[in-house]
Every structure is written in structure tokens, then in C-alpha cells.
Amino acid sequence: MKLRLLAALAALTAIAAPALPQASPEKPNIVILLIDDGALMDLGIYGGEAATPNIDALAGAGAMFTQYRSSPLCSPSRAMLLTGIDNHRTGISTIPEVLPPEHVGQPGYTMSLEPGVTTLAARLKPLGYRTLMTGKWHLGSGEGDLPDSHGFVRSFALDASGADNWEDKSYMPFYADAPWYEDGQAAALPEDFYSSTFIVDKMIEYMDEDTNRAPFLAYLGFQALHIPVQAPPEFTANYLDTYSDGWEALQTRRWKRAQEIGLVPEGAAQPALHPDLRKWDGLPEDKQRLFAARMAVNAGMLEAMDHHVGRLIDHLKTNGTYDNTVFVITSDNGPEPSSAEDPRFETWLSANGYHVGIEGIGEKGSYGFIGPEFASAASSPSYLFKFYVSEGGLRVPLIMAGPGIAPGRVDAFAMVTDVTPTLLEMVNAGPAPEGAVTLDGRSLLPVLSGAAPTVYSDEDAIGIEVSGNAALYKGPWKITRNLTPWGDGQWRLFNLETDPGETQDLSAANAALFEQMQADYAAYAARVGVLEVPSGYDSVAQVEKNMTAAVLKRAMPKIIAFSIGGLLLLGGLVWLIYNILRNRKKKAQGNAA
């Protein structure tokens, strides 16, 4: 692992000297590779344990961002990534799984891209681009919500928050099945399906359909590293001993490594693990082996994804399009803390052909997850994980490489909403169509070209909110509010320049600044249309309620049919008994006569 880290650092150092590449006079191709639930330090170039040589090579030849932020949850991040617009203004403020009934159907909470919200694909298609999409979509499930209605000429899309990586089936009770669609029509998966393999195979197939060599946008939404965490055993085998010393050790290793490679300042305080998390030494040995194996699958899943990314890169090199292709590699949010250790969920898993044991871990039928403890460790040097607006949920990798991009490390602040405006400026897309919702993000081209050190000033206030979890950045300062179950709903103030792990609340010592930033957040929330969550809102409890409602809704026709059948049967029995009694009465009367 240390050799991989040194090689990655050498690659990054080596690219500091070359001159800025000259942009091609042709419109560049664009490839967006989106990791699902990847932590800041998961990739090798960022100091992670998994071997990711293909992505590392792109980072070495391009711009590696160290201060990029996304949203804390998948659908809002995807909506912002593909539109450049704040999640509330897209219509996808959160995900359906955690939506409280008070927000259903409200503006910004329709769970669909709302009128006037224009995707990158819809902007590029009129410019002659072939717009292609494979993998996870999760941006609306109604009529007109799939990729073919939002600018993609070819698409093979998963319309759910996740799915099995080996089979055509659901991964949670919220979904009856795995809803895959090709060009808007329900589609089945091949027998030899593995998600990363198929997502790349299908994209190559779409690319090869074009004989006119038009520029293309290729958006690949990988299922790695979303639950169920699954990987081919040959990749998992590379990490079976990597995590055997537990989550506290991993968190410390990544925190130290982050200082060595400059992701945080030397001497930055190590964030504490949440007090409700289990201690590694308190687990029996068999549980330790099981959790270490789950993390091995997690790393193997990332390496498998990178392997297939390498196949895509090789294909582009073979067909001569690689040199004029801009690559964007990022993650939608931080690592996933969800667990499958609830006995009620285990019943559903068993009924749907899943097991959570170590035998055949990561393979077909295995339901993998890393849980909140390893998710906290993976998010180091940050605090908490996916869904929460602490840095562990928001601070993720971003790599951009290709013509016109100066190679080197970028320490400037950037947001997920900045990606689309950057790409639009790169291709000289021109003005937005009439009636389009205005962009919230900013083009990063001045930073990528070396013309400016940053596109945000210390006076810019940048907010984010998803399901009650809220944050606002302003220069080195950040305020956060995290709700239960892993937060307490209180606002806090941190100086990320000196304390990137958010270990010391400075609100009392900087009362005026704290008050001003809360006012800045209130202005942001009013501008984008944030709805406050109901009192006592708990995202985990809401998922359970929404899953129960979804299951009952699917089962209701059967329940009604069963009930009607039961009533008819009961009515028939009553009629039969009535007739028997009536006949007996008649017979008795006849005998008496």
C-alpha cells in the first residue's frame, strides 16, 4: 500500500512542471465518472488503500481538487452535478426514501427535475453532442423523469437509490425490484451481470454506434461503493488483511496520511469517533473478521470499478478520442453508514436470497455493508459520513483532466454545482435556452487554466441543506447543523483552515460571526426554498415509515383481493347455514302437520 501511495505522490509531483496543454479546436468529448458513496481518501491518489491506477493516472495528468464539496446525499448531488443548480431549485431537495409527508409534492420537493431545470445533456445535445448515460439515475420515477426525457439520446439507467450488483433484484423493501430502463423502456440485465462491468460495456456499445465521430458526453453512474457492497473475489482477496486492526486504527492511519500528503495541515486535530459507535476491541474475534472482510470487499469493489474504467480509457485511446476528452471523476457524497444488522431487515434479506455472513462474502447472494464505524474511519480526516453535513458527508474527491486543464493540485474551494458551468464554458455552449432556471454554480475554468487561484472569495456564503442537515461555508469558516440520530440539531461554528476535522466549536468565541453566518444561511434557505423538517424528524425512522408504506401500497391489491375473497366466502357460508336452517325449519313444520 505504501508503495502505491508513493507512486501516486510521485505522479502528482511530476505533473507540477509541464506547461499548460493547448485546448483542441474541436469541441472536447466529456466523460463523467461518478462514484457512489466514495470517501475523500478512498482513491489511491488521495491516500486510500485500494489500488486505483487508472483514476490515479488521470489525476496525475490533470487537476486534483482537495477542497471540493458535494451534497451529503445521492440524488441531490446528482441533480446539482448535472444541472449546476442548487438541489432545492432542481426539485430534488432530498431522496424519496427519507421524505416526510409534510414535504411531499411541495415546490423543490417533487422528487423530479422541475420545469426549466436543464441538464448538461440537454444543453449539449443541440450542439451536436451524442449524449450517453449508463448506471444509476435516481432523479425521478414518473412519466418524463428518465434520462431520455432530459437530453440523453441513449441511456441504460437504474431508477432507484441502489440495486444488487450481481443480479436483477432490489436491495431494500422500498423497491419491489431493480427498475432498469433502456431509453425509457423497461429493460432486463444480462445473465453474466456485474454492475461495473456492465456499466462500462454498455457505454462502449453506445459509443461504437456512432460512425460520424460526433463529440460525446458520457455519464457513468457507478454502483460502487453503494450497498450492497459486492465485488469479484479476485479483487477482494487483495485486501483481506488490510483492515484486520479495526476502525480506530484505520481512522488514525488516514488522518496521519492526510497530513503527510497535505489534505489537512500538519498537527490538525484528529476528529473523535462518535461516542455511540462501538469499540473494535469490544467485538468478538469472529465479528472482527467479518467486519474486516466487509471492508476488504469495499476496497475490492473500488479496485474493480477502476479496472473497468481502465477498459473504457483503453477503448478511447484505441478509437482515437482519448486526447480530446475531458474527464470528471468524483463521488456523490461520503461513505455509507447503513447497516443490515436489524433483525427485521435480516428477515427481508433472507426472504430475498441474501446472507450477511463471511462465507462467499462479496459474491452473489452476499449483502455487504461497512456500517457506521468503518464509514467514520473511511471519512477520516473528516467527521461523520453520508447524509450529514459534517465534512465526512460533504468533502469528497474531484479530478478533472483533459485538453485545456493545467495539471497540478487545486486547493481552491469548489462545489458540486460548479461542474456543469465549467463544462459548458469549456465547450462554448452559449446562453441557456429561454425559460431555463439560472445556474447557482460558477465555472472553475479560471482555476483549471491557471488564470486565477479561486472563483470564490472569503465573502461568498455557500449553503447546503438536505432533510434538515444544513451547513454554510464562508471563507475558512463553516457552520453546521446535524439532526438525529448522529447529530443533536444544534448549530456550531468551525474554522476549517485550522480545524478541518471540526473538533472545536468556536461559536461562543466568535458570537458576531456566528450570528452573521446564521443570517447568511437564513437568506440562502429563503432564496432556494428550503422547507424546515417537522419537529422530531429522524431520517432513519422516516426511512422505516416510508418503506413500510411502500410495502403496504404494493401489497394492498392482494390484501383487498384477499379481503373480498374472504367476505365472499363468509357470505357464502352465511347463505349456506341460513338455507340449512330454513330447510330444517320447513321439514320440522311439515312433520308437525
**Hey, CA dihedral for 87, 58, 400, 152, is it positive or negative?**
negative
Distance CA 255, CA 1 (A): 16
Which of the following is catalytic: 88, 138, 150, 307? 138
Which of the following is catalytic: 74, 103, 150, 308? 74
Distance CA 241, CA 481 (A): 37
- The CA–CA distances, whole Å, from 543 to 96, 161, 173, 416, 469 equal 9, 12, 10, 25, 16
Name the grid cell of 346. Answer: 435480516
- Kindly give the pairing relationship between strand 68-69 and strand 414-415: parallel
Of the chain, the end-to-end C-alpha distance in Å amounts to 104
Catalytic-residue membership of 138: yes
Taking CA 217 as the corner, what is the angle to CA 58 and CA 178, rounded to the nearest 5 degrees? 95
Within its chain, how far is the Cα of 246 from the centroid? 25
Distance CA 219, CA 125 (A): 13
Strand partners, 185: 182
| Burial class (CB within 10 angstroms; exposed 0-12, middle 13-18, buried 19+) of 3 | exposed
Cβ proximity of 83 and 421 under 8 Å: no
138: left (phi over 0), alpha (psi -120 to 50) or beta: left
| Burial class (CB within 10 angstroms; exposed 0-12, middle 13-18, buried 19+) of 179 | middle
Question: 3-state SS of 572-593?
Answer: HHHHHHHHHHHHHHHHHHHHHC
Catalytic-residue membership of 308: no
Distance CA 454, CA 447 (A): 6
SS3 194: coil
- Kindly give the pairing relationship between strand 130-136 and strand 216-221: parallel
Q: Which of the residues are catalytic?
A: 74, 138
